[in-house]
Amino acid sequence: MAALAGRSGWLPWLAVAGFALGGLLVVALLSRFLLSRARLGEANAALDRLSRVDALTGLHNRRHAQEFLEGLVSAARRHDMSLAVLVIDIDHFKQINDTYGHQAGDEVLCATATTIQSMLRTEDGVGRWGGEEFLVVLAGADRDAAAAVAARVLEGVRAARVLAGGETVGVTVTIGVAEWAGDSVDELVGRADGALYAGKATGRDIVAFAAPPAPPAAQRSGDPALPSRA
């Protein structure tokens, strides 16, 4: 009987120990679950960032720059706002690659991206549009405001001296500027791109301005309005 009583005295302690171990196991499993969720959230955030950011320069990639511009064009239509874009291309970039190597070319791209970004306001956007070309979106900017920004970028890049491949490299850019005039995103960027290549044709290291979009054919030819069906 004494042995039985001794054993029964241990039973509450065993129950308490069992509950404690079970609680610790639940806490451990819950902690592991929360840690896994946190890591998954961090991984998803990193993937989202990678889908929007150019890995080399840290700027928006083309997809995100396009989305940013589409959003601003939509807002400009609704609120009758000004908007302008700059298409910026590094001059003689192939020659830089051929002379100093592709690593030096990457360093020039990164340094130029940093210079461009430093000239902009927080509400503006800049992305790597492709290769050595960048797209700048200027919210609320008319032609004069865009011209002032383009001039600052041109001078800032020109004044910088980039250490690339162990050599100090001078860099210039050519910039095409287009003010939004109710046209589509593709038409707006196309006009800026056309101005850029016109600037390249005149010798580079210059700001060139796009002409406004052509009016519809009926307005251009002065055709009378079509008669209504009375």
**What letter does residue 136 receive in the DSSP assignment?**
E
Q: Is residue 84 part of a domain?
A: yes
Residue 6 has pLDDT above 70, yes or no: no
- Secondary structure (DSSP) of 148-199: HHHHHHHHHHHH-EEEETTEEEE--EEEEEEE--S--HHHHHHHHHHHHHHH
Average pLDDT over every residue of 44-66:
78
Of 141 and 17, more confident: 141
Residues in a beta bridge with 136: 86, 126
Residues in a beta bridge with 85: 137, 178
Q: Is residue 46 part of a domain?
A: no
Task: Please give the mean pLDDT across all residues of the chain.
Answer: 84
Q: How many domains does the chain have?
A: 1
CATH of the domain at 92: 3.30.70.270
What is the model's pLDDT at position 177? 98
d(C-alpha 17, C-alpha 217), whole Å: 88
Residues 6+ apart with CB under 8 A from 15: none
Residue 31 has pLDDT above 70, yes or no: yes
Q: Is residue 76 part of a domain?
A: yes
Q: Is residue 104 part of a domain?
A: yes
Q: Is residue 18 part of a domain?
A: no
What is the model's pLDDT at position 226? 39
Question: If DSSP codes are grouped into helix, strand and coil, which group holds residue 51?
Answer: helix
Interstrand relation of 167-170 and 207-209 (parallel, antiparallel or unpaired): unpaired
Q: Is residue 30 part of a domain?
A: no
Residue 152: pLDDT band (50, 70, 90) is very high
Residue 29: pLDDT band (50, 70, 90) is confident
Domain hosting 184: range is 62-209
d(C-alpha 99, C-alpha 101), whole Å: 6
What is the model's pLDDT at position 92? 95
d(C-alpha 88, C-alpha 63), whole Å: 17
Average pLDDT over every residue of 99-110:
92
Residue 45: pLDDT band (50, 70, 90) is very low
Q: Which of 27-41, 90-104, 197-211, 215-229 shows the lowest mean pLDDT across its residues? A: 215-229
Of 13 and 79, more confident: 79
Residue 13 has pLDDT above 80, yes or no: no
Tens-place pLDDT, residues 162-192 = 887 788 889 999 999 999 999 999 999 999 9
Tens-place pLDDT, residues 72-82 = 999 999 999 99
Average pLDDT over every residue of 66-93:
96
Q: Is residue 57 part of a domain?
A: no
d(C-alpha 58, C-alpha 81), whole Å: 29
Q: Is residue 24 part of a domain?
A: no
**What letter does residue 202 receive in the DSSP assignment?**
T
